């Protein structure tokens, strides 16, 4: 394959593209499935033993697993912005969840900033987003149908996405009512609606026109609730019970069986979607990616949701940003492929462009991981580094990964340094032992970001 790489450097600012796969074969369909607050250890292929995820595990077994894949952020909004725009939180337009801004008003993706859907439409793709968008708090030009998606069904904003029995949902640019009672948890379970919409969309597709489906489930984000049939397999196992209290979230009474049931329901539906792709003759030439938007929020150790990692959602330790990643594409990815390539959400846009045979128009911090998907270790371009920043009540917090080195720095505290090859759990700060390396990582933190008046680098709220 003829390949053209282009590099831009500004701290971690690095991009790569190619003449693409499309010149050699028909462009593949792309289905990107995103779980919400699912931990690295919540899936079987990463060691989960209590929650059953056979269909997600099948994607891993029949395709590729990335063992060093990272989310865009440790919370929903900025992570999804990184995924859609190809920019990390040092350059992204959305660097925090709604209202964690200088003036307390939410920030959306600006009209001028292209998304991966905009890019793929240039390559002839049909595009659809289903589920949690969370990037149009102001309901303006950041709506999915104005950011490259032909169709949308789901939540525009974060708040309504907290409930699984919402009274209203968005279809394209209009809200439609649902026969639901959120507090009583009666009516139509919204996860099931998302799956039904995905079924309808795939059923309308044919082999002659490539499509991109972004399926952003809300499972297993709080609130914890799921229909009883999904809890039944877990109710007679003698598990320790975890009572849940209702408040903003209308939780079911017991958390552990509910959490497991939610994840398994999502797994069940992903399996059904894979079967539909086979039935429609789309399976072999469809790239399916499964991952999560950040680390877990619910678990207190019962499920070992963060595996060997330290931290969870809202941390920049590995447990908050190191996420499960599996991809299957029978015509291109060899079963059992495992890659230690260090990658992140902002790589998806250049990867999709690479596969579609176009170069990104968007300014991107990402590098296509297409070669890693194919198991081409020598052909895969590595990152100079990965960068994150997070600025809620404990912020600002910064993190950088450069090869085996990981640095984390909290406001007013010394930089912490870890060797992830020896200390995956980030238990032993070795900054005093490697002062020169610590200084290098501090410089990378400084050079990898631009100032943003919406997200000034100070503690925004206490």
Question: Over the stretch 246-295, which tens digit does the pLDDT of each residue have?
Answer: 999 999 999 999 999 999 999 999 999 999 999 999 999 999 999 999 99
Token reading at 329: 């594409």
- Cis status of the peptide bond prior to 220, with omega within 30 of 0: yes
Whole-number percent of the chain with pLDDT over 90: 90
C-alpha neighbours within 13 Å on the C-beta side of residue 84: 35
Token reading at 116: 């991966």
Question: Which of 403 and 362 is assigned the larger pLDDT?
Answer: 403
The predicted model gives 89-96 an average pLDDT of 96
Is 414 inside any structural domain? Answer: no
- Is 50 exceeded by the pLDDT of residue 7? no
- Is 50 exceeded by the pLDDT of residue 23? no
What are the C-alpha distances in Å from 293 to residues 243, 362, 392? 26, 21, 17
Domain count within the chain: 1
CATH number for the domain spanning 43: value is 3.40.720.10
Map tokens 């060997």 to a residue.
308
Is 451 inside any structural domain? Answer: no
Q: 289-343 pLDDT, tens per residue?
A: 999 999 999 999 999 999 999 999 999 999 999 999 999 999 999 999 999 999 9
Report the SS3 class of residue 438.
helix
Token reading at 61: 């077994």
- Nearest Cα to Cα of residue 390 among 418, 373, 410: 410
Q: How buried is residue 177: exposed, middle or buried, by Cβ count under 10 Å (0-12/13-18/19+)?
A: exposed
Q: 400-417 pLDDT, tens per residue?
A: 999 999 999 998 899 999
Is 71 inside any structural domain? Answer: yes
Report the SS3 class of residue 31.
strand
Which range has the worst mean pLDDT, 217-226, 252-261, 320-329, 451-460?
A: 451-460
- Torsion of Cα atoms, 42 then 47 then 51 then 52, to 10°: 120
Is 9 inside any structural domain? Answer: no
Q: How many CB atoms lie within 10 A of CB 434?
A: 14
What per-residue confidence (pLDDT) applies to 25?
55
Map tokens 């989960």 to a residue.
48
Is 445 inside any structural domain? Answer: no
Average pLDDT, the chain: 93
For the chain, helix (H) and strand (E) counts, in that order, are 10, 16
What per-residue confidence (pLDDT) applies to 369?
98
Which range has the worst mean pLDDT, 96-110, 117-131, 294-308, 356-370?
A: 96-110
Report the SS3 class of residue 268.
helix
Is 434 inside any structural domain? Answer: no
Q: Is-contact 324 38, C-beta < 8 A?
A: yes
Is 400 inside any structural domain? Answer: no
- Is 60 exceeded by the pLDDT of residue 230? yes
The alpha-carbon radius of gyration of the chain (Å, integer) is: 21
Q: 133-189 pLDDT, tens per residue?
A: 999 999 999 999 999 999 999 999 999 999 999 999 999 999 999 999 999 999 999
Whole-number percent of the chain with pLDDT over 70: 94
Is 308 inside any structural domain? Answer: yes
The domain in which residue 155 lies consists of: 29-384
What per-residue confidence (pLDDT) applies to 343?
98
What per-residue confidence (pLDDT) applies to 301?
97
């Amino acid at each position: 394959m003829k390949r053209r790489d282009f590099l831009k450097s500004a701290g971690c600012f690095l991009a790569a593209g190619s003449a693409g796969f499309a010149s050699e074969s028909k462009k593949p369909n792309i289905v990107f499935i995103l779980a919400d607050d699912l931990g690295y250890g919540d899936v079987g292929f990463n060691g989960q033993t209590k929650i059953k995820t056979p269909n997600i595990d099948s994607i891993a077994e029949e395709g590729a697993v990335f063992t060093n894949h990272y989310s865009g952020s440790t919370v929903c909004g900025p992570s999804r912005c990184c995924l859609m725009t190809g920019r990390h939180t040092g350059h992204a337009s959305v660097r925090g969840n709604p209202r964690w801004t200088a003036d307390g008003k939410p920030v959306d993706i600006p009209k001028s900033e292209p998304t991966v859907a905009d890019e793929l439409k240039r390559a002839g793709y049909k595009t659809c987003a289903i589920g949690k968008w969370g990037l149009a708090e102001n309901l303006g030009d950041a709506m999915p149908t104005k950011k490259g998606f032909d169709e949308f069904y789901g939540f525009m904003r974060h708040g309504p996405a907290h409930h699984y029995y919402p009274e209203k949902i968005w279809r394209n640019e209009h809200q439609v009512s649902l026969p639901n009672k959120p507090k009583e948890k009666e009516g139509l379970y919204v996860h099931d609606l998302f799956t039904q919409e995905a079924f309808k969309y795939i059923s309308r597709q044919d082999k002659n026109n490539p499509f991109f489906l972004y399926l952003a489930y809300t499972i297993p984000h709080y609130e914890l609730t799921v229909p009883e049939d999904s809890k039944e397999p877990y109710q007679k196992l003698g598990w320790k019970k975890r009572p849940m209290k209702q408040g903003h979230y209308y939780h079911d009474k017991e958390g552990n069986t509910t959490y497991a049931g939610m994840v398994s329901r999502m797994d069940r539906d992903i399996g059904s979607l894979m079967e539909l792709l086979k039935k429609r003759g789309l399976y072999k030439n469809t790239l399916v990616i499964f991952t999560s938007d950040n680390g877990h929020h619910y678990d207190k150790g019962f499920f070992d949701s963060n595996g060997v990692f330290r931290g969870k959602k809202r941390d920049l330790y590995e447990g908050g940003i190191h996420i499960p990643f599996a991809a299957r594409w029978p015509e291109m990815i060899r079963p059992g492929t495992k890659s230690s390539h260090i990658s992140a959400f902002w790589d998806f846009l250049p990867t999709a462009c690479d596969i579609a045979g176009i170069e990104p128009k968007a300014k991107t911090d990402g590098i296509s991981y297409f070669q890693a998907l194919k198991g081409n270790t020598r052909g895969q371009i590595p990152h100079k580094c990965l960068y994150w920043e997070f600025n809620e009540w404990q912020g600002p917090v910064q993190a950088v990964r450069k090869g085996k080195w990981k640095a984390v720095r909290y406001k007013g505290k010394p930089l912490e340094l870890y060797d992830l090859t020896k200390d995956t759990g980030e238990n032993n700060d070795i900054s005093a032992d490697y002062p020169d390396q610590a200084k290098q990582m501090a410089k990378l933190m400084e050079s990898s970001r631009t100032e943003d008046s919406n997200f000034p680098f100070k503690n925004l709220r206490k």
